[in-house]
Structure 1
């Protein structure tokens, strides 16, 4: 249960633009891999990315659809919507999150999926 609350706090930090939360949820040696390629090593890089991203963007929604948990890993299915450089966009995604012995996030990998789905075999 604590790991779900930690993830919820992290997602909410983006909506509130609250960088202080990052220091409480991530380990100092966090490895964070975004869904489109960038990877950040260590809390200082994550904090810089957070500050830089929030200069041009605002997270409008980051809603959790479900959690799947096994051991020290939790998988989160979510929907993300933002306004970045005056362009509003959204997508579905999944994060694989690993926790350390101190109950902090030590590894996070994001995967993206288009939010607009179509049904090619339905009439």
Structure 2
């Protein structure tokens, strides 16, 4: 698998969330995909992922930003690591943070994804570097 294709699959996933296109999101996932969110929620298999998407939609939540800032690739092990900036609304509450995803690929699809969160504002506690 080429790095361009790894990035394209992850981009399809993030764009699917921003456009709220469930077919786009699901279309890049293996039927046995496992997604672990930054908050510990874990979804195993396409049926659980579909249920998660339906719940997200029914609750009126919306992703407004998911900007990929960089990507790192291990082609031999078929793993991509992506850094991004994310904004969403959960109900009327707005969340904005930086994060990263470790994405494992199998065949031409995403097999596993683990997401991690970092505060949006970073600072040097001991002055500028």
| Common topology (TM > 0.5) | yes
Q: Which runs of 4+ in 1 moved over 6 A?
A: none
Aligned alpha-carbon RMSD (Å):
1.2
> For residues 5-84 of structure 1, what are the structure 2 equivalents within 5 Å?
5-56=8-59, 57-71=61-75, 72-84=78-90
Q: Per-residue deviation at 1:84?
A: 1.0
Q: Per-residue deviation at 1:61?
A: 0.2
Matched, 1:113 2:94: no
Unaligned stretches of 5+ residues in structure 2 = none
> Is contact 2:17-2:25 (8 Å) kept?
no
**2:105 alignment partner, one of 96, 99, 110:** 99
SS, match of residue 98 in structure 2: strand
SS, match of residue 96 in structure 2: strand
What's 1:88 paired with? 94
Q: Larger deviation: 15-24 or 107-116? A: 15-24
Q: Per-residue deviation at 1:69?
A: 0.3
Q: Larger deviation: 19-28 or 57-66? A: 19-28
Q: TM-score, normalised by structure 2?
A: 0.90
Unaligned stretches of 5+ residues in structure 1 = none
Distance 2:57 2:81 in 1: 25
Q: TM-score, normalised by structure 1?
A: 0.94
> Is contact 1:22-1:47 (8 Å) kept?
no
SS, match of residue 47 in structure 1: helix
Q: Per-residue deviation at 1:50?
A: 1.4
Q: Per-residue deviation at 1:23?
A: 2.8
